[in-house]
Amino acid sequence: MFYFRTRSLSAWLQNLLTSGYIISIMDTMIFIMSTILSIAFHEFGHAIAAASEGVEIEYVAIFVAVLFPGAFVALNYDQLQNLPLFSMLRIYCAGIWHNVMLCAVCVLMTLLLPVVLYPLYVSGDGLMVTGIPQTSPLSEYLSAHDVILSVDGLKITRTDEWIKILNQGTTTKSSSSEFLEGSQRYVATSSGKGYCVPDSWMDASKNLWQIRNELPCPDELIAFEKDTCNGSAISTEKTGRGSGSKEVEEKYCLIAKDVIKLRKCGNGWKRTEDDESSCACLEDEYCLVPVLTPGFSWIEVSYSKPYSLGCLQKGGNLSSSSHAANNDLGQNPCDGSFVYVGNLLSAAHSVRVSPYRPRWAFLLFIADIPYILENGLSSLLHASGALAVVNCLPVYFLDGEAILETSLSYGTWFSRRQQRNILKLCRFVWTVLSIIFLCHNTIVWIRIAN
């Protein structure tokens, strides 16, 4: 699998490290520590159960299987076999039981985390950026300790909302090869996110088209076209540069940071129930939607810089910034807004965000603690839960094998030979299924990383 699709391991790692996905040392340490703690708690359960039954512990071993750490507790085999079946089963199930209890503790601590962090941290008014690499497509707009307030006008307060909104806004990539030499394909977004643009802006854009005498807009401008306000996609294909003045006039090159200050129109905006905005514009305005290439999407992000020098000097706060209108953006040193056009999936995972932010600026040196606690508990919950599920399976060298063997000895329906045959069959089948499942998920993960 290291050479999956004829790509070497070094090429795969290079692609992973240079991608927009953020894999920091902090995240790696959280994953490693949660895995080690789950394994240690599992084996501690076996040791406690064995000691309570009077079974001698001979030694404790630690090993590494490929890239995953592991451990086991070696018990006195003769003393273990002389125990009643229920006592043996209790020892074998102790590790799984301790992992389940650890999961319950993680859930309880996660529910109590807002109460514990309340004296020093604020939550519920946005997502604070705790880390953003230079390779992130959002690094030119956001920086560390900025607070993301809303996406497409929707206020976000949880990390899962940030991922969900950006995933839902991702457009389907075109499967046909339209980008041929001498041709250009424009595909308007099917989301129907439009803006009421005045006639004067559109006239100025037409003059720009006539001056440039070519189809693509300059780098600092975005192409727009008229929307019928029904949310349907508009697709126009032109071959060559002389495609006719009528088709050219349907496109308008506008500055995105100026357009987002205008009134919104179209059915693609995710609005609240009390929002009475419609897709109708004034008589001297037209509803224009951005024209995007396949696989690209358009989102409007509002953010705040509560810890910047200008905002601190003004004494600004997020409670007022979160309700600020778009027409005043740029005048307030605490507020900002930008439009991102690109792959939303990579952008969503390239930024490390947290729903908690320090109450005071002098606490910024501990701004990462809520992220560490929140993600540490989540990682510990998943690692401990996965370890409990895996050890329930009757697979070679795992607890499930001994649990199944002891459980079969309880019943009187099968002879000793039948019990051995059932054990061998279940052990073989579940081991093969586990290997297939592991290989399948590894290949899927490599595909996503590439």
Active site residues: 43
Residue 242, classified by CB atoms within 10 Å of its CB into exposed (0-12), middle (13-18) or buried (19+), is: exposed
Closest residue by Cα to residue 71 from 28, 27, 35 = 35
3-state helix, strand, coil split of the chain in percent (to 5) is 45, 20, 35
Q: State residue 330 phi and psi, 5-degree precision.
A: 100, -30
**Alpha-carbon gap, residue 354 to 164, rounded angstroms:** 15
How many whole angstroms from its chain centre is CA 426? 37
Q: Which residues contact 437 (CB under 8 A, 6 or more apart)?
A: none
Residue 365 has a CB neighbour count (10 Å cut-off) of: 8
Q: Say if CB 138 and CB 132 are below 8 A apart.
A: yes
Output phi, psi for 225, to 5 deg: -145, 165
Q: How far is CA 159 from the centre of its chain?
A: 8
Whole-angstrom distance, CA of residue 238 vs CA of residue 354:
45
Residue 286 bridge partners (DSSP): 197
**Cβ atoms 297, 165 nearer than 8 A:** no
